[in-house]
């Protein structure tokens, strides 16, 4: 039995290895989505099952959850071929076999000790452009994955330490930005090499047996702690449902429905009532659905260590006909929007029985926006980015203003970086007043972005959500503001027919796109909010005078202070 002190030291050392792999890629990647936004992740995985052993704290947790399926796919591929060797590195982006969508490329490397695989090291990063119909690859009107980019099955990028340049050549030939692809690829290779070096040093210091015992104990503790947390909840079935605006092809809502059952120390998540697979690219593979459940569970039970033990007491039911469990060639490019809705319904289902753990729903869309064209010298440019919004109010306070989606710890690429890299100018980048859901603890604010084109022309593509269905509040909190997108044309401003998704927008020099992102849902009844907090929100420009009165029941005097008498009268009248 490993002693507690050694276990704590090894836990920290192992996490540091994954963190250092993250940092290596972030500092060497060519594209801002990895270098600035940190849309990547690294981890250590079990040699036989592919289960998550250790994850980095700086990358995307959703990747770590999905990567266990990816490593398992490599293990099965290697067993079938019978030629796994020290120095091999597999590469692939198959979204149906442990992937997410085609932009996310995975590198998996076995770490050998004394002729046996001790574990696998894995790296995943969002590449800037991997072909397909739309620059940046978020194609909201794709009806099959072939329209979203190149698909690479698990193949050896390195064979016994030797790079297979033909694989690199094929991938570069299928990208609009081959230089960016090459830089990101080498950043991931370097991260894996560093991880192998650091892990070998740790194993030499503590022995393979001791580290193996520590990894097993950490997994067992996560499983036991998760089971204990579940057992604290009352038995019963709790249901919630939410909707996606549409699939980009047919303008009809898609339901994400959950029936969550607590039975002792076990939890069953049944998504059977969700919509069937759709024509457009908001489908997801089973591995992606399970990864989003992993992330949601970690949000709820923050004290549980992050490894495969988290999911041991949890059963997931998703029919094969569901949009949450599709196979090739169903399009999956907009997976981010769907997994955010899975997290939302899990929060909402548990809101009444675990109010001290849940948050109001976050803004619920990454608003994947792509502007692309050619510079005066004929060179190609592609600006792909995602944008922030408000997080939900929570038991301890207000939601975060202008944060990133809760599937990640990524950051929003700064305006200065985007303006320096692409021919665009941000005329506005500001918090959006009255966008946070009213509540005892207010939802965080969304943002307003206005992006002007500086080149002669460009194509614009938007893949968003929450244009029709606002982020819900919980425990009596109210919904946040919905997503809004407009674009300029010669005859004025236009709105996409499907509200949150569109391809083929043509911009001329001097024209702009305008994006107003949702806030987060509120937590608790708005009329229970401290009037002084409402006054402070008004002074900061977070809420309007009208919202202060109508949503919170707080009357403000001419200077913005609380009119105590009028507030007391109004709250009594509106509560009766």
What are the tens digits of pLDDT across the range 201-246? 999 999 999 999 999 999 999 999 999 999 999 999 999 999 999 9
Query: 61 φ, ψ to 5°?
Result: -60, -30
What average pLDDT score do residues 464-490 get? 98
- Which is higher by pLDDT, 291 or 190? 190
Cis-peptide into 329, omega within 30 deg: yes
Note the pLDDT of residue 58. 79
458 CB-near residues (< 8 Å, 6+ apart): 371, 372, 373, 423, 506, 507
Write the pLDDT tens digit of every residue in 89-140: 999 999 998 889 999 999 999 999 999 999 999 999 999 999 999 998 889 9
Question: What distance in Å separates the CA atoms of residue 325 and residue 200, rounded to the nearest whole number?
Answer: 38
Residue 36 DSSP SS3? coil
In the DSSP assignment, the letter for residue 309 is G
Q: If you average pLDDT over residues 169-186, what whole number do you get?
A: 97
In terms of Cα–Cα distance, which of 36, 50, 132 is closest to 93? Answer: 132
- Tell me if 409 sits within 8 A of 37, measured CB to CB: no
575 pLDDT tier (thresholds 50, 70, 90): confident
Q: CA of 426: how far to CAs of 35, 42, 100, 312, in Å?
A: 20, 33, 30, 46
**Measured between alpha carbons, how far is 525 from 551 in angstroms, rounded to an integer?**
10
Q: In the predicted model, is pLDDT for residue 549 greater than 90?
A: yes
CA distance 317 to 315: 7
Task: Decide if pLDDT at 321 tops 80.
Answer: yes
Burial of 106 (0-12, 13-18, 19+ CB in 10 A): buried
In contact, 300 and 279? CB cutoff 8 Å: no
Predicted confidence (pLDDT) at residue 576 exceeds the cutoff of 60:
no
Q: Is the pLDDT confidence value at 408 over 70? A: no
pLDDT at 508: 97
Predicted confidence at residue 97, as pLDDT, reads 86
Average pLDDT over residues 274-278: 98
Q: Are 467 and 245 in contact (CB under 8 A)?
A: yes
* Per-residue pLDDT at 18: 94
In this structure, the strands spanning 447-453 and 457-463 are unpaired
156-177: average pLDDT: 97
pLDDT-based confidence at 407, cuts 50/70/90? Answer: confident
User: Region 483-512: what's the mean pLDDT?
Assistant: 97
Backbone angles phi, psi at 350, to 5 degrees: -95, 0
In this predicted structure, the answer to whether residue 171 has a pLDDT above a threshold of 70 is: yes
At residue 38, the pLDDT reads: 87
Check: CB of residue 296 under 8 Å from CB of residue 342.
yes
What is the overall mean pLDDT for the chain? 95
pLDDT at 55: 86
CA 389 to chain CA centroid, Å, is 13
Which positions ≥6 away from 379 have C-beta within 8 Å? none
Kindly report the number of other CB atoms within 10 A of residue 8's CB atom.
Answer: 11
- The secondary structure element, H or E, covering residue 21 is helix 4-28
Pairing type for strands 368-374 and 457-463 reads antiparallel
Bridge partner list, 368: 463
Whole-number pLDDT of residue 64: 66
């Amino acid at each position: 039995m490993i002693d507690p002190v050694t276990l704590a030291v090894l836990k920290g050392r192992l996490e540091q290895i994954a963190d250092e792999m993250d940092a290596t890629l972030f500092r060497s990647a060519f594209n801002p989505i990895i270098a600035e936004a940190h849309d990547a992740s690294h981890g250590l995985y079990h040699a036989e099952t592919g289960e998550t052993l250790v994850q980095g704290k700086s990358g995307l947790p959703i990747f770590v959850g999905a990567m266990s399926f990816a490593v398992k796919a490599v293990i099965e591929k290697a067993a079938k071929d019978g030629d796994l060797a020290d120095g091999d590195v597999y590469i692939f982006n198959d979204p149906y076999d442990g992937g997410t969508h085609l932009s996310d490329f995975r590198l998996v490397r076995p770490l050998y000790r004394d002729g046996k695989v001790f574990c696998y090291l894995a790296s995943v990063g969002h590449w800037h452009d991997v072909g397909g119909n739309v620059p940046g690859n978020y194609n909201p009107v794709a009806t099959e994955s072939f329209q979203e980019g190149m698909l690479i099955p698990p193949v050896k990028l390195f064979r016994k330490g030797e790079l297979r340049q033909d694989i690199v050549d094929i991938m570069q030939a299928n990208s609009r930005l081959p230089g960016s692809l090459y830089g990101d690829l080498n950043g991931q290779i370097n991260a894996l090499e560093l991880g192998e070096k650091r892990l070998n040093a740790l194993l030499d210091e503590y022995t393979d047996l001791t580290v193996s015992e520590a990894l097993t104990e950490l997994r067992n503790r996560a499983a036991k702690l998760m089971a204990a947390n579940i057992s604290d909840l009352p038995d019963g079935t709790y249901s919630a449902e939410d909707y996606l605006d549409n699939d980009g092809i047919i303008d009809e809502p898609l339901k994400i429905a959950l029936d969550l059952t607590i039975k002792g120390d076990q939890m069953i998540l049944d998504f059977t009532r969700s919509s069937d697979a759709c024509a457009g690219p908001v489908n997801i593979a089973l591995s992606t659905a399970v990864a989003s459940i992993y992330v949601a569970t970690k949000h709820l039970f923050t004290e549980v260590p992050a490894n495969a033990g988290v999911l041991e007491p949890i059963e997931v039911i998703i029919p094969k006909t569901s949009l949450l469990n599709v196979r090739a060639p169903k399009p999956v490019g907009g997976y981010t929007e769907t997994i955010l809705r899975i997290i939302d319904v899990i929060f909402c289902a548990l809101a009444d029985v675990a109010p001290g753990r849940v948050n109001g729903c976050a803004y619920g869309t990454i608003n994947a926006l792509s502007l692309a064209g050619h510079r005066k010298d004929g060179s190609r440019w592609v600006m792909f980015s995602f944008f922030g919004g408000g997080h939900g109010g929570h038991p301890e306070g207000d939601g975060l203003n202008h944060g990133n989606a809760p599937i990640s710890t990524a950051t929003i690429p700064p305006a200065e970086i985007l303006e320096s890299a692409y021919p665009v100018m941000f005329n506005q980048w500001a918090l959006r007043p009255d966008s946070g859901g009213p509540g005892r603890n207010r939802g965080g604010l969304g943002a307003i972005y206005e992006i002007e084109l500086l080149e002669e022309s460009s194509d614009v593509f938007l893949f968003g959500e929450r244009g029709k269905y606002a982020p819900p509040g919980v425990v009596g909190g109210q919904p946040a503001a919905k997503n809004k997108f407009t674009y300029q044309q010669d005859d004025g401003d236009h709105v996409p027919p499907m509200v949150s998704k569109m391809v083929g927008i043509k911009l001329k020099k001097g024209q702009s796109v305008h994006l107003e992102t949702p806030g987060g849902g509120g937590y608790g009844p708005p009329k229970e909010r401290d009037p002084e907090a409402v006054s402070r929100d008004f002074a900061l420009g977070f809420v309007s005078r009208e919202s202060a009165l109508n949503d919170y029941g707080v009357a403000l005097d001419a200077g913005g202070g609380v009119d105590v008498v009028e507030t007391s009268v109004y709250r009594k009248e509106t509560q009766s």
